[in-house]
Amino acid sequence: MATGTFFNEAVERLPRCELDSLIDERVRYTVRYAAENSPFYRSWFREHGIDPASVTTHEDLLGLPLVSGKTIGENQPPVTGEFMFRSAAWEKIFTIHETSGTSGTPKSFFLTWDDWLRYAEKYARCFVSQGFGPGDRVVICASYGMNVGANTMTLAARDIGMAIIPTGKCSFPNRIITAYRPTGIVGSIFKLIHLARRMKEDGVMPEDSSVKRLVAGGESFAEESRSYVAELWQRDVFNTYGSTEGTMCGECVVRNGLHVPEDLVHLDFYDPALQSFVPDGECGRAVLTTLLPVGGRAAFLLINYDTEDTTMVLTREPCPCGRTHMKIMNPQREAETVWILGTPVNRVDIERGVFQRENMEYLTGEYEAFVYGGDEDGETVLRVSMECNDPAIIPGDVVAETFRKSFFRAKPALARSLGDLFSLVFSFTGPGGLELYRLKGRPKRLVDRRP
């Protein structure tokens, strides 16, 4: 059970020296467990000439090779006869999960019941750090199925004393709000926007509802879009970041970075361009290592796994909330980044420009962006399409200029190329006019259409 503002106070408030010692102990055990129980890692250690006994601290992980999602795909059926990353007997496995498989055969993951309990603790810490506790009622607008997120949050709620309303989607009827009076909602930024607008259309004002706080998860977002959701609801919006691989980090009430449950998952940060790990304060891909408590077991674990999500360490100093675990910046998906004239442009860079507050007097927040090759050799065109409430009255030039100022503030190199090798163009549609409405699945809002 949660006590006060902590779920597991003894661990969450460990002094840094004691926390590092605990991490090192679990690194040693996890590496040994992998060598003994994971066919993949047993072979991996041998092929790379690594003595598992030589890995004694978390710093030693920096000298090991990286493992990627592609590596997982190459070590499971149909490529191999067995799931080489599986590290427990079939009779010990409780559930089986898959990634979305948008780029080929889905990657498979396995969880024992003990894995589930550790996953649930990570989310429970997030919920409690955000002010949730016994008696709260939380709507989960995330899919229940092969994805672990919704089920993990539901299991976490059991240990906190919260009630879960497992709608799975944000398209539930307003009576869910008026009858059950939920105190929290978990959903993506856009789901929370859509829900607020639909409630208003039906005469239910979000700011007058029973909801006390919102949790945004499932995808990275711009701070500007978070602020807009907070304005619509007149409530605090907290950020969480999780994955099937087991990251599960979350903001506390201070809301200036996501706490990493360092005793359960270790993160290092790698720059693929430099082919080296980077120090605190510099951006890199989060490289994940599962941490098992001594004596623990896992059906699937990862050592030096490249998540392909970009972030950085904000601080390892104790937080004003009392937690000592490090905080990271809101990660951005590498898959949502395109390169234009040597400059990385992420979907969040587009979203930031759309959600400039003055723009939201006219826009719904829905957008999509496409990158094309221009008419001239070496030219690139970025076209941003924005949905507006009424195309007849939108001041397109004003909205476009507001977007430009936001975008070029973060991308000065592209500003210098504007009108030469780079063009930024805009289009506006009425409700339902974007291409993404005609596609199934999660919208892809930044698409590279260059040959």
pLDDT at 2 over 60: no
pLDDT at 374 over 80: no
Rounded CA-CA distance 25/295 in Å is 11
Rounded CA-CA distance 61/70 in Å is 20
Q: For residue 135, count CB atoms less than 10 angstroms from its CB and return exposed for 0-12, middle for 13-18, buried for 19 or more.
A: exposed
Render pLDDT for 6-29 as a digit per residue (tens, 0 to 9): 999 999 999 999 999 999 999 999
pLDDT at 369 over 80: yes
- Structural domains of the chain sorted by starting position, each given as residue range(s) with its CATH number in brackets: 1-330 (3.40.50.12780), 336-448 (3.30.300.30)
Say what percent of the chain tops pLDDT 70: 98
pLDDT of residue 440: 80
Render pLDDT for 312-368 as a digit per residue (tens, 0 to 9): 999 999 999 999 999 999 999 998 999 999 999 999 999 999 999 999 999 999 999
Rounded CA-CA distance 34/279 in Å is 27
pLDDT at 4 over 60: no
Render pLDDT for 111-135 as a digit per residue (tens, 0 to 9): 999 999 999 999 999 999 999 999 9
pLDDT of residue 104: 63
pLDDT of residue 243: 87
In the block, tokens 């920096």 appear at: 62
Q: Which residues contact 122 (CB under 8 A, 6 or more apart)?
A: 152, 156, 242, 246, 248, 249, 261, 264, 265
Position 145 confidence tier, pLDDT thresholds 50, 70, 90: confident
pLDDT of residue 103: 54
Render pLDDT for 40-87 as a digit per residue (tens, 0 to 9): 999 999 999 999 999 999 999 999 999 999 999 999 999 999 999 999
Average pLDDT over residues 167-175: 93
Render pLDDT for 199-254 as a digit per residue (tens, 0 to 9): 999 999 999 999 999 999 878 899 999 999 999 999 999 999 988 898 999 999 99
Say what percent of the chain tops pLDDT 90: 88
pLDDT of residue 101: 56
pLDDT of residue 1: 36
